[in-house]
Amino acid sequence: MLLLFYNSFSIFNFQLYIVFMQPLSPLDGRYSKQVEALRPFFTEEALMRARIFVELSYFAALADEKGIPELKALTSRQKKLVQQIVDDFDEAEAAKVREIEKKTNHDVKAIEYYLRNELTRIGGAKFKTEFLHFALTSEDVNNLAYGILIHDAIKAVLRPELTALIAMLHALGASQKSRRMLSLTHGQPATPTTLGKEIEVFVERITHQRDHLSAFRMQGKFGGAVGNYFAHESAYPNVNWRNFGKRFVKSLGLLPLENATQINPHDDLAELSHVYVRINTILIGLCRD
């Protein structure tokens, strides 16, 4: 009987077993359904795509910089071809990156080599691929990629979910605006209130935090191995690299960190997390009340 069972146990079912019964994280197991909407933003494939977008955006920005004579600005056709690399990136392309990484043993370097191959494929020698990842450290790419992914997730999933909750609670409050109830202060009976008014208290509080979330921006660290553009400046001293870096980070929708070490200190992640601490605290209060 066991032999029959194993023979009928397809590879697909085995993969499901690994996902749901032996996950390394509950987010890929027990709670996978609850976070399914976030999966397109935080898988390794999504991170690869975001890294590719950052690397190609940087390459295009370098080409626009007049202080780098070896590069010419990309034509509109070249820009479309470059964008197509991002748009066409899928599971099969991600597998190519993983194959390259087996040789490089470095995830960001694998992205660079993948892009060299792709740019050569679509443009031959017209793209000076040696300028890919010019003077960067891996964190320059990684922190910008994560920032983009988080912004996309907020815009597509997190903020709309809060907005839908606010609308639902507001409608409930409106329907219960005349339903009187006893209120308490200090645990003692006080003047009457209505259920609708008490629900609107939470609507206002959640709306305030939703607005904080809408205004929130991830920070972007840029500038090389220790954040001071020294490698950039030694190669092309006539370029104002600090202004270049600020423009580039802003073009990705992020707030430039003008002074940093090798890494983004991630105060932005702490700030974002605390917005959700407040939201969750408000919702716990709503559930208890």
Distances in Å between the Cα of 174 and the Cα atoms of 92, 210, 287 are: 51, 20, 18
- Kindly report the backbone phi and psi dihedral angles of residue 206, in degrees, each rounded to the nearest multiple of 5, phi listed first: -65, -40
Is pLDDT above 80 for 133?
yes
CA 8/CA 151 separation, integer angstroms: 44
Tokens of 17: 């077993």
* pLDDT level of residue 20 (50, 70, 90 thresholds): low
What tens digit of pLDDT does each residue of 32-76 get?
A: 889 999 999 999 999 999 999 999 999 999 999 999 999 999 999
CA 209/CA 159 separation, integer angstroms: 10
Tokens of 179: 């339903």
CA 133/CA 81 separation, integer angstroms: 19
CA 244/CA 239 separation, integer angstroms: 8
Q: What's the confidence (pLDDT) of residue 6?
A: 42
Q: What's the confidence (pLDDT) of residue 200?
A: 97
- CA angle 264/270/271 to nearest 5° reads 105
Beta-carbon count within 10 A of 95 CB:
11
- Tell me the CB-side half-sphere exposure of residue 25, using CA atoms within 13 A: 4
Is pLDDT above 60 for 8?
no
Nearest to 132 by CA among 41, 63, 229: 63
Domain regions of the chain by residue span: 39-134, 139-288
Q: What is the pTM of this model?
A: 0.89
Q: Same topology for domains 39-134 and 139-288, yes or no? A: no
Nearest to 118 by CA among 76, 85, 91: 85
Q: What's the confidence (pLDDT) of residue 4?
A: 45
CATH topology of domain 39-134: Fumarase C; Chain B, domain 1 (1.10.275)
What tens digit of pLDDT does each residue of 225-236 get?
A: 999 999 999 999
Contact assessment for residue 159 and residue 210, using Cβ atoms and an 8 Å cutoff: yes
Q: What's the confidence (pLDDT) of residue 280?
A: 97
Per DSSP, the residues of 179-236 read -EE--EETTEE-S-EEHHHHHHHHHHHHHHHHHHHHH---EEE-SSTTSS-HHHHHH-
Class of domain 139-288: mainly alpha
What tens digit of pLDDT does each residue of 60-116 get?
A: 999 999 999 999 999 999 999 999 999 999 999 999 999 999 999 999 999 999 999
Strand bridging mode 188-189 / 184-185: antiparallel
